[in-house]
Structure 1
Amino acid sequence: MTISYNWLSEYLPVTLEPERLSRILTAIGLEVESMESYESIRGGLKGLVIGEVKTAEQHPNADKLKLTTVDTGGPELLQIVCGAPNVAAGQKVVVAPVGATIYPAKGEPVTMKVAKIRGVESYGMICAEDEIGMSDDHGGILVLPASAKTGAPASSWFNPYHDTIYEIGLTPNRMDAMSHMGVARDVCAYLTHHDKKDLRIKSPSVNAFKVQDHSLSIDVTIQNTTACKRYSGVSITGITIDESPQWMKDRLKAIGVRPINNIVDITNYVLHETGQPLHAFDADAITGNKVIVQTLPAGTPFITLDEKERKLHEEDLMICNADAPMCIAGVFGGIKSGVTGTTTNIFLESAWFHPAWIRKTSFRHGLRTDAATRFEKGVDISQTVNVLKRAALLIKELAGGTISSDLVDVYPEPEEKKQVAIKYHYLKKLSGKSYHPDSVKKILEALGFEVLKDGIDELWVAVPYSKPDISIPADIVEEILRIDGLDNVPIPQAIMISPSVEDDSEGKLREKIAQYMAGSGFREILTNSISNSAWYAGNQMSTAVKMLNNLSVELDVLRPSMLETGLQVIAYNLNRKNNDLRFFEWGKTYHSQEVGVYQEIPHCCIYVTGNYMPSSWRQKGQEADIYVLKGIIDRIATVSGLAGIRWETATVEGLNQALSIWYGKEQIGIAGNISKEKAAQFDIRQPVYYADLNWLQLVKISSRNKVSYRELPKQLPVMRDLALVVSRQLPFASIASAVNGAGISKLTKFELFDLFESDKLGAEKKSVAVSFTFLDEEKTMTDKEIDSMMAKVMTILENEVGAEIRK
């Protein structure tokens, strides 16, 4: 939420310094995330003066340059070389003398120095509009009227707008603070409580509103009273569409709103002033002089102001005339009824639309407008008429015209104020502070609450319509705490707690793995659990948990897989030339077999792409591959106490070279290379290797495997190598399984150290070299014992995997 200091100050009965106002805003829960100075012209034209060109002669050494003398009010004329084609004697111009800094519309600031141009010294610059940041116009120097005073500061002529802009981190429930007057109301409540003065905001008067004739009466009918509880409107004829005055354009631009024309700007101005959205229709487009608030059949085509045709949903509330829809209520106008440069008569709308209806329509069509973001939080239903009068008076002032109808206010079932009771002992219990009843009442009344009943230990209040989020006593406590200040709650000197004694094996294992991964050059990532359904296959979506009120069109499902959100992070980095990536993440996937039955499954995921080992003068870079990934997972298994995991080929959606990871008879995860089709979804063009470990299963197995310690062996191990010729399709896992099945207790380790393939070995054959390590912890082994064990290994391999021992 963007707030202007100058604008806000209009509604405050006292003057506050910007810094103090910033502290107050943060204290009352409207956290100031940034506070910046704003200038309508960058640099504020400081140091620039108005000069008069006395002479303008041809430069002696350049055909396209002029040598001028300029009077800037000083004791001597300034000699300035100028390249503008329109410079001439007698002109009043803007001059940047030596030492002044100009802020161009494009580029960095430039400080004027004495320059020698084609052999002639120049003591400043005669400025064009783009050179001082006033516009992009570079057609020539800026020529001022003759009435401009020579030697006067340029800022005194142009009067650039200065302001202080606050960016407020507004919580979603604070619709009441989505306007300058709403913020001012909170500030006044704070000052009333802390400065002990009864202060109220200075609201613009609407007493001058008066119906002038009845030449353009328009009837209003609400057919859907659930989605629209109140609709107010008034007709204004004979307006003139033009630019808004400079003061209004300055205020709108200061908070990031682009001025368009006086009518549209007034509706935007009043929106940011009061929080009530307005809409202006071209009254000549309202056929039958009727406005009907209704829904239309699903699929009805409607062209919005952005010239796009949209198919309406059956629950899109529409503002219609007698023949056709004109506007998507509370969200976006239609192209046929919008205000244009030729509009002379308008119908001004101020209404209350149901938050849920507006929110769903806004997301359904991807139209996130300022009006929709306010309606979806609940606007003040009591203010539609006053706001309408305020806007009508501004239109008369800035666009002319005549108020040509009675003010229509269709309000079938007036809303009653919510009533909430709060007990003083509950206030103390929840807030941690004792409040005097008078202070409580004063704070609430300053915020617009109405005291209905004041008991000894209980207070009944009516909630103002501007605070639709308040419904329970805890909400009242929050309001009191905000205005009093959270920093005013006393902190006890001692806090009594019981230490936790619960088993945290999951946390310890997570920390152990995280330390290993970080030490191996991995970075931990945290991705969004809310994801895009377009990323997932049909079988994944069949059990996916879909969002009912998604934040955007793209974020509409709780992820059924961790892969896609990780690939989104990888794509982001690859697009920024970070090509060598190693990530790990703990997260959850979400599944549902039926309505109301949901599953959250924790995962530990690993992503590797690019070079695993960087290039250096000693070695070439080593690209990551499936074996690098397997090595990482083997190490994680060892860290977790799972010695002896095994790998099996598998079929996994989105993966090539897919493998399943097993510990005994329990599957603990999958791994593989991302398929080209899946990578293409994220525009990734390099191999990505991915592993997904079932975290709960890993923790369960790890916690039941006890860690044991033993003395280091006193004997030295003995190593023997063996070369085997086997089928080219035979995986090393089959060789490992056969060796493990031999049951040789003194064989402590074996590993593959060479692989060779050649037609000389035979068709579809390969040679694998395996290193075997033997150790007897009690004594030194003899060659005869080792030869016996090696013979047993060779026999097993020949019989079980068809190996041919290479001599």
Structure 2
Amino acid sequence: MTISYNWLCDYLPVKPTPQELSTILTRIGLEVESLEKFEAVKGSLEGLVIGEVLTAAKHPNADKLSLTTVNIGAAEPLHIVCGAPNVAAGQKVVVAPIGATIYPATGEPVTMKKAKIRGEESQGMICAEDEIGLGTSHDGILVLDPSLVPGTPASEIFNVAQDWIYEIGLTPNRMDAMSHIGVAKDVCAFLNNLEHTHKYQVQLPVFNGLTPSGPELPISITIENTDGCPRYSGVSISGVKVGPSPDWLKNKLEAIGVRAINNIVDITNYVLHETGQPLHAFDATAVKGNAIVVKNLPQDTIFVTLDDKERKLDATDLMICNGAGEGMCIAGVFGGAHSGVTDTTTQIFLESAFFNAGMIRTTSFRHGLRTDAATRFEKGVDISNVVFALERAANLIVELAGGQIASKVQDVYPSVKRKTEVETTYAYVRKLSGSNYSADKIKNILVSLGFDILAETTEGIRVAVPFSKPDISLPADLVEEVMRIDGLDNIEIPSTVSVSPALSAQPDPEKVKEKIADYLAGNGFNEIFTNSITNSKYYPEEVLATAVKMMNSLTVELDIMRPSMLETGLEAFSHNLNRKNENLLFFEFGKTYLAKEGKYFENNHLSLYLTGQKTAETWMHKAAPVDFYFLKGYVINVLRQLGYTDLRWAESEGTGLTPSWEIKVKNQVVVTLGGVSSQKLKQFDIKQPVWFADFNWDKMIGLLQKSNNFYKEIPRFPAVRRDLALVLDRQVKFAAVEAAARAVKTPLLQDINLFDVFESEKLGANKKSYAVSFTFLDTQKTLTDKEIDSVMDKLVKNFQTQLQAEIRK
């Protein structure tokens, strides 16, 4: 939120310095993130003075230069070489003497120094408007009013606007502070609390009521959807002349970063930032039938918005229509291309309304239209402020655009809203805040903020909440208001803190997660955090049948809670690949969501995403792309980090991965891994292979908590390795070999490793050879050959009977 110091002071009964005001704002919870000086003209013409040209003669060494003497109110006139064709004796001009810095409209600032130009001394510069940032013309020097006094600072003559601009880190609930008057109310409440008084009140703008004074232009108002629009007011104004705004209005808007457009649009923007109430001006000639109708249009109705884009309306989009039923504006969000104010507009209908916050937010996100008006409506504007803002803007239009009020103010308010009532006790305020506030202080703060005290006892009070604070509904909200206005820095910090020690699960799941994150980050992975709300178009119907759907989705693209981790990770891949980041190793801890039989479930996951090259191309070796085995290595290492060694591999189906494998620990699937299918990659416009592993983190933590083998003594006895070469059918996977070996129930077998694969017709048709190593260890003693041979005989027997393997000699 951007706030102007000068603008804010218009509503304050006192004028603190910019730095004092910055401190006050931060103390009351409106944290000032930056305070910067604004200058309508860079440098504010500092050091420049008014001069009088005493003489102007031709330069002896240059045809296009003049030698001048200029009186700037000093003891001696300045000698200045001037290149302007229009310089002449008797002129009053702007002079930049030696030492002054000028800031041209384009280019870098220049500091005046004593110089010689074509052999003649020059003690400064007579300025054109573009040379000092006052405009873009370079036709000649600025010639000023002859009555000006030499030596007068130029900043006084041109009245250059200066201001201080605050960037406030506004929390989402503070819609009441999204305007200058709203902030001024908080400042006045702070000052009242500081001096234990009620004398500081916001100085609201004073204006006349709206009385028709021109030709009547009656426009009726009908609200068909009162849920979407509880209140709508408007007034007609004729005889308007659209043109540039006066400088004071331009400066106020430009100071807070709002571009000036024309007097009508600028006034609506001014009142928006003054009061927090969005307004909209229609060209009255577009209001067919002299009627405004607030309603919904049929699904997929085409509407052309101000940016000349055709948009398909949703049946829930609230629209402002004319008497012919044609849409003129998406209510509270964006105007239409054919009803807005143009340079030729002479009659306008000015709108001020209150719209349903949820409907505005949904429509705004659905169409990707994040306007100032939508931002305020979706947070909830002050319904009691609707007519005030309308009359304020109408008076400014009459004053600045020459308009005449052409109708009475129409205020359609079918069901008057009641103020929210909240009750609290003084003891609760003290307990929750930790401060011993007196009852008088609590009441003083709340009254200064606009709360009405409905009832009070010695124990507490019941108050009516002002409409400008729609976020307040609980006693805790009142405590926050009291703490804010008393100053958040006044909250006492206790000298002692009492805590009850809590026992966490062993092992601590957070520490386990941190351990794995450290391992992956140390091996070149980057951690990502993707949105758990995603797009339903990524998933087939069978998946969507059990997906958790959003009842009030943020946008059309974000309408379900993700049923799997893969798609949001591919979004991150697509984003990076489109920006030429092609070698990617990502990991993510996240949740997936499922709806089944009326119940909702969420599951924790760890996901790995890999694509691109695992080794870069160098003079020593070629680049090597990541592959299944590269992924497999990291998956096994993650499991080993957690103490899992007895892993069971099996091919899996229905995962969308090709190939697709799963790893079981104690007969529970803890990991699914493989390559992302080409069909899924095409969905995200990814043109290179992607490998994916999904860990069921809840199961892994559950299994880990049931295990007590986290630390082992280093073996004191040597391990023994034996190798076998097995001739098998070509379709037999190594997982089958490993399963057959594990079927030999022996504690001596520590590890199984495939170290060579050989295929040749010499082995026989459709045959291959696996060279497998077996590692044996007894932690209590040194193994004997007899013991090892006994186990090897059992292994060979299993391979022969279960896999029809032949042992190569």
1:446 CA drift (Å): 1.0
1:432 aligns with 2:447: no
> 1:122 deviation in Å?
10
Q: State how far apart, in whole Å, the 1-side matches of 2:179 and 2:294 are.
A: 26
Counterpart contact for 1:6–1:164, Cα < 8 Å: yes
Partner of 2:290: 289
Q: Is the 8 A contact 1:4 1:255 kept in 2?
A: yes
The 5 Å alignment of 1:57-96 reads 77-78=79-80, 90=88
On the 8 A contact 2:126/2:141 being kept in 1, the answer is no
CA deviation profile, 1:31-70 (whole Å, cap 9, x unmatched): 223322233344445566788895788998xxxx966667
Counterpart in 2 of 1:12?
A: 12
Between 1:499-508 and 1:188-197, the stretch displaced more is: 499-508
Secondary structure, aligned partner of 2:181: helix
Summarize deviations over 1:54-99 as a string: whole Å, max 9, x none. 5788998xxxx9666676758654558x8xxx86655998787887
Please give the alpha-carbon distance, in whole angstroms, between the structure 2 residues aligned to 1:732 and 1:302: 62
Instruction: Supply the distance in 2 between the matched residues of 1:54 and 1:758 (Cα, whole angstroms).
Output: 103
Q: Which residue is equivalent to 1:243?
A: 244
1:145 corresponds, among 143, 146, 150, to 143
Decide whether aligned partners of structure 1 residues 715 and 404 sit closer, same or farther in structure 2, where only a CA change above 3 A counts: closer
Q: 1-side partners of 2:211 and 2:803: how far apart?
A: 100
- Looking at structure 2, the residues matched to 216 and 292 of structure 1 have their Cα atoms a distance apart, in angstroms, of 17
Q: Say whether the 8 Å CA contact 1:56–1:88 is kept in structure 2.
A: no
Q: Which residue of 2 aligns with 1:454?
A: 456
Q: Which amino acid aligns with 2:143?
A: P
Deviation at 1:185, TM superposition (A): 0.5
1:770 to 765, 769, 772: 772
Q: Is the 8 A contact 2:362 2:554 kept in 1?
A: no
Amino acid at match of 1:268: N
1:263 aligns with 2:261: no
Aligned pairs for 1:571-590 (under 5 A) are 571-575=574-578, 577-590=580-593
After TM superposition, give the deviation of residue 103 of structure 1 in Å: 5.7
Identity rate, percent: 54
Contact 1:93 1:142 in 2 (8 A): no
- State yes or no: 1:568 paired with 2:571: yes
Q: Choose which of 341, 344, 347 in structure 2 pairs with 1:345.
A: 347
Q: CA deviation at 1:519?
A: 3.6
Distance 2:8 2:792 in 1: 88
| CA shift in 2, pair 1:331/1:6, >3 Å | same
Give the Å deviation of 1:244.
Answer: 0.7
Match of 2:548 among 536, 545, 550: 545
Equivalent residue number for residue 668 of structure 1? 670
Alignment CA distance shift 1:466-1:728 (3 Å): same
2:405 partner letter: I
Given that 1:350 and 1:387 are in contact with CA atoms closer than 8 Å, whether structure 2 keeps it comes out as: yes
**1:190 counterpart residue number:** 190
More deviation, 139-148/492-501: 139-148
1:10/1:735 Cα in 2 relative to 1: closer, same or farther (>3 Å)?
same
Q: Which amino acid aligns with 1:207?
A: N
Q: Distance in 1 between matches of 2:120 and 2:365?
A: 64
Among candidates 530, 534, 537, match of residue 533 of structure 2:
530
Find the aligned partners of 1:656 and 1:50 in 2 and give their Cα distance.
80
- Using a 3 Å threshold, how does the CA distance of structure 1 residues 302 and 615 change in structure 2: closer, same or farther? closer
CA distance in 2, matches of 1:161, 1:205: 24
Q: Residues 792 and 35 from structure 1, CA distance in 2 versus in 1: closer, same or farther, beyond 3 angstroms?
A: same
Q: Does 1:702 align with 2:700?
A: no
Counterpart CA distance in 2 for 1:746 and 1:719 is 11
Q: How far is 1:121 from its partner?
A: 11
Aligned to 1:658: 660
Q: Give the C-alpha shift of residue 268 in structure 1.
A: 0.9
Q: Is the 8 A contact 2:85 2:140 kept in 1?
A: no
Is 1:366–2:364 an aligned residue pair? no
CA-CA distance at 1:130 after TM superposition: 7.2
The equivalences for 1:731-750 within 5 A come to 731-743=733-745, 745-750=747-752
Distance 1:390 1:681 in 2: 53
* Contact in 1 for aligned 2:103/2:133 (Cα 8 Å): yes
Cα separation, 2, equivalents of 1:438 and 1:546: 50
Query: For residue 635 of structure 2, what is the aligned residue in structure 1?
Result: 633
The letter of the residue matching 1:513 is I
1:304 is aligned to 2:305? yes
Q: Distance in 2 between matches of 1:134 and 1:762?
A: 92
Judge which range, 400-409 or 748-757, deviates more: 748-757
Match in the other structure for 1:716:
718
- C-alpha displacement of 1:335: 2.6
Structure 2 residue identity aligned to 1:145: V
Q: 2: CA distance between counterparts of 1:58 and 1:729?
A: 101
User: What does residue 36 of structure 1 align with?
Assistant: 36
Deviation of 1:110 (Å): 6.8
Contact 2:196 2:444 in 1 (8 A): no
**Where do residues 322-333 of structure 1 align in structure 2 (5 Å cutoff)?**
322-325=323-326, 326-333=328-335
Task: Say whether the 8 Å CA contact 1:55–1:88 is kept in structure 2.
Answer: no
8 Å CA contact retained: 1:129, 1:141 = no
CA-to-aligned-CA distance 1:587-636 (integer Å, 9 cap, x gap): 111122355x2111111122233344566787666543221221222122
AA at the equivalent of 2:232: Y
Distance 2:455 2:219 in 1: 43
d(CA) in 2 for partners of 1:282 and 1:45? 41
User: Shift of residue 642 of structure 1?
Assistant: 2.0
CA distance in structure 1 between the partners assigned to 2:239 and 2:713 by the alignment: 100
- Is 1:24 the counterpart of 2:17? The answer is no
Aligned to 2:163: 163
Q: Please give the alpha-carbon distance, in whole angstroms, between the structure 1 residues aligned to 2:40 and 2:644.
A: 66
**Do 2:127 and 2:141's aligned partners in 1 also have CA atoms closer than 8 Å?**
no
Q: Which moved more, 1:396-405 or 1:548-557?
A: 548-557
Letter in 1 for 2:142: L
1:69-148 superposed matches below 5 A: 77-78=79-80, 90=88, 140=138, 143-147=141-145
Aligned pairs for 1:396-407 within 5 A: 396-407=398-409
| SS across alignment from 1:25 | helix
- Inter-partner Cα distance in structure 1 for 2:126 and 2:733: 81
Secondary structure of 2:230's aligned partner = strand
CA distance in 2, matches of 1:640, 1:446: 59
Is the alpha carbon distance of 1:386 and 1:713 closer, same or farther for their aligned partners in structure 2, counting shifts above 3 Å? closer
CA distance in 1, matches of 2:762, 2:131: 78
- Written as runs of structure 1 = structure 2, the 5 A alignment for 1:48-63 is none
**Contact kept? 2:130, 2:138, Cα under 8 Å:** no
Secondary structure of the residue aligned to 2:370 is coil
Separation in 2, partners of 1:107, 1:724: 80
Check whether the contact 2:608–2:692 (CA below 8 A) recurs between aligned residues.
yes
Q: 3-state SS of the aligned residue for 2:481?
A: helix
Specify every segment of 5 or more residues in structure 2 that has no aligned partner in the other structure, as ranges. Answer: none
TM-superposition CA deviations, 1:639-663 (whole Å, max 9, x none) = 2232221222223554322211212
- 2:531 aligned partner, one-letter code: N
**Closer, same or farther in 2 for the Cα pair 1:793/1:286, shift >3 Å?**
closer
Q: Aligned-pair RMSD on alpha carbons?
A: 3.7
Partner deviation per Cα, 1:313-359 (whole Å, 9 max, x = no partner)? 44433333322333333222223322111111112222222323333
What is the SS of the residue equivalent to 1:184?
helix
256-265 or 44-53, which moves further after superposition? 44-53
Change (3 A) 1:766 1:77: farther
1:729-782 Cα deviation digits (max 9, x unpaired): 432212222233344654432312234455666665544433333445566556
Asked if 1 retains the 8 angstrom alpha-carbon contact of 2:365 and 2:554, the reply is yes
Compute the displacement of 1:102 (Å). 6.1
